[in-house]
Chain A
Amino acid sequence: MTVAIEAYLVLSAAVFCCGLFGVLTRRNALIFLISVELMLNAANINLIAFSHFYGNATGQVFALFTIGLAAAEVAIGIGIILVLSRNFGEADVTLPTEMRW
């Protein structure tokens, strides 16, 4: 049995919107990081779905790249969060606003 491509796209859109919602509403940097991961993985779902639909492996390869990128991004993100919590005692993204202008 094959699942229709629309189902994947709906799933992907739903995951992406969850991530977006998290970024827009939460203040905790860790939740931020998780939300960004969600959005990235929504894109991955899209890539793999289309790759499967067209019978072409390129999309899947790019999904692997994105996973690698996400790992790097998490490493930097965790680093920033560590600095945040060291300087402010907590990981609230609304606190560090000194560097705006």
Chain B
Amino acid sequence: MVNAFDLVPLIAALPFLSFVIAVTVGRWLPKEGALPGVAATAGSLALSIWAFLTVRADGAHYDNELYTWIDAGAFELSFGVLVDPLSSMMLVIVSLVAFLVHVFSMGYMNDDELHREKGGFPRYYAGLGLFSASMLAFVFSSNLLMAFMFFELVGLCSWILIGFWFREEAPPSAAKKAFLVTRFGDYFFLVGVVGVIVTFGTAGFAQDGFPQIAAHFLETGEGADALWVPGDLDTQQWFSILGLLVLGGVIGKSAQFPLHTWLPDAMEGPTPVSALIHAATMVAAGVYLVARMFGFYAGLPTVLAIIAFIGGFTALFAASMGVVKDDIKQVLAYSTISQYGYMMLALGVGGYVAASFHLLNHAFFKALLFLGAGAVIVATHHHQDMWKLGGLKRSMPVTYYTFLAGSLALAGIVPFSGFWSKDEVLYDALLIGLEQPLFMAAYTMGLAAVFLTGFYTFRMVFLTFHGEPRSEHARNPEPLRWNTKGPLAVLGVLAAVTGLINMKPIAELIGSDDILYLEHWLDDGAAADGGEWMGNLTYHHYGDLVHDVAGLSEASLAPYAPAAVSLALAIGGALLAKRLYDVPEPEPATERLGSAGTLLERNYYLDEFQVWLATGVTEPVARACNTFDQGIIDGTVNATSSVSLFSGQRVRRVQSGLVTNYVAVIVMSLIVFVLAVGIVGGWFL
């Protein structure tokens, strides 16, 4: 009997195989490499579901030494798998979204005339395959180093795919920006990985891994001898520094302030790629990493506060920019940044379940919204400006209703999935915030973003689908085939129902925790094959750490009032959008915002600021360093060599080539030597 856990590496190997096939023989295959990709991701999905069910039946599986890369005695660098409730859930999400994106791509790329002209499909499907493979391997990574490697591979794939249409002007530059900005964060991550390995002697996530060692030390103060701490630094401070270093990579990948600028530009890539990046693969990686090593963060109050604050701020900040965008994909891009802000906020207040819940829901509804936007784009011959769309409700009913389901989930309207998870995020934040005022600020920003989310989401829906068509293409959209509608339908259903797995207010209402399936799922520390109890990966353990070690206490409050407030805000935003934009001839209302509108339109001038930072600060510093290097350091070396060169040129004239001269010099020297010895020895006295 084959064990599902033995086949886990195959989950990543299958898409990798499809990458190899697409690269080598893709151009001769029917559909140019799409079919191997679809088959491989379908296989990954089946294996992931099997692994998920096995975890459900037997418990988690952890093997940190599938392959030992370097064994250095004191520590070893290895590859392994960790399949626990969190990662098995994430495997299903990622492989499902990857599968649907592959199917949708056949409709978006292969069936579209314009895309067929541009060509390059084998390269596209190769990129998708590698992207899925690296993300899946990242998800089941058993240690931080392996996670880092696949994290980097994900970044590389995003570069390949965002810059897919490299003959145009904008995509290559957007790809470069995405790569460089995320690399900037990953630099800190790499330092953090090295720091973790040096400090703990291991980078493993589960049993005897660094989160467990750190938590044990913070709880009991034991085991300090085994830890390496630089200088006189307090151990907890050093842990916080390590946590913040790793967080640098998270902020880059999950597009949190201030490293979010790459994500809106990444819209230059093909739309299915955007769906993949935003829903399942790249941006989710950052938040997933924090959840993965949450046992490490949970005991560090400073880092938690920073995570919560960055999250809350990003949620509001990105939502405010999403309000004024005219490009349907840009609106979605800013909503992604904003939603990942919520997840960070949840993690910062110890809401591990809330963050995972929102990650799950967001993966489905954001993939849905992007694929819906892709369907609109391909049906209207590449029109993304919402002011040139409108009235698509009648001509594209499947797209409209699924998009509406995704929008209701995104805006957080009951009973769609986003409501339940966003509400839980805000509820957790409020409980912590009532006791600690600093977290209250993060909560307030998150709450304010709910209103903006409702507004921009329905502005997008009304402008795209309602009213009268505002261009020829919107009047007669192309019909879509099954491969576009199928994924939309699947995701539409998921976006509507996934919220039901963790309905906190309902559970409170009926006084039974039994319907909190996700919470129970993530609280299961049972290990398969009679292995050790993995209590250090459970929600309970994290809750205890946040409460006892980090000292964040929770207020007690019934969840109804906060839920009602956030729901009211979301509906308020939606109604405002309806008043402004759900009319036959909507007018752009952005001008009425005046200079504030311009500020939002230009993304708070953050791009300009970052360019200025590069050209105005970094470049002069680099120039000065270059001058120092060329002038002082190289100058010293060059001066030494030119002095010896010059003196050598003078001295070599002694070598006349005449034997007689040499003999004369030898004889003279001998005479001088003998005379000198004689004078010193006193022969002539």
Contact = CB atoms under 8 A, between A and B. Distances in A.
A98 B655 CA distance: 11
B596 interface: no
Contacts of B667: 20, 24
B660 A93 contact: yes
A2 interface: no
Contacts of A101: 652, 655
A23 B663 contact: yes
A100 B657 contact: yes
Interface of A: 20, 23-25, 27, 32, 93-94, 96-101
B658 to A, nearest CB: 6
A25 B655 CA distance: 18
A97 B663 contact: no
Contacts of A99: 657
B510 interface: no
B658 A93 contact: yes
Contacts of A25: 660
B657 A98 contact: yes
A32 B660 CA distance: 10
A101 B659 CA distance: 14
A29 to B, nearest CB: 9
Contact of B656 (A23, A24, A32, A100): A100
Contacts of B660: 23-25, 27, 93-94
A100 B663 contact: no
Interface in B654-682: 655-660, 663-664, 667
A100 B656 CA distance: 6
A88 B6 CA distance: 85
Interface residues of B, number: 10
Contact of A97 (B652, B658, B664): B658
A79 to B, nearest CB: 16
B659 A32 contact: yes
A98 B663 CA distance: 18
A21 B490 CA distance: 110
Contacts of A98: 657
A94 B658 contact: yes
Nearest to B663: A23
A96 B657 contact: yes
Interface string B461-481: 000000000000000000000
20 contacts: A20-B663, A20-B667, A23-B660, A23-B663, A24-B660, A24-B663, A24-B664, A24-B667, A25-B660, A32-B659, A93-B658, A94-B658, A94-B660, A96-B657, A97-B656, A97-B657, A97-B658, A98-B657, A100-B657, A101-B655
A20 B671 CA distance: 13
A44 B94 CA distance: 97
A98 B667 CA distance: 24
A93 B664 CA distance: 14
B201 to A, nearest CB: 61
A27 B659 CA distance: 9
Nearest to A32: B659
Given A20-B663, A24-B664, A27-B660, 8 more contacts: A23-B659, A94-B660, A97-B656, A97-B658, A99-B657, A100-B655, A100-B656, A101-B655
B590 to A, nearest CB: 80
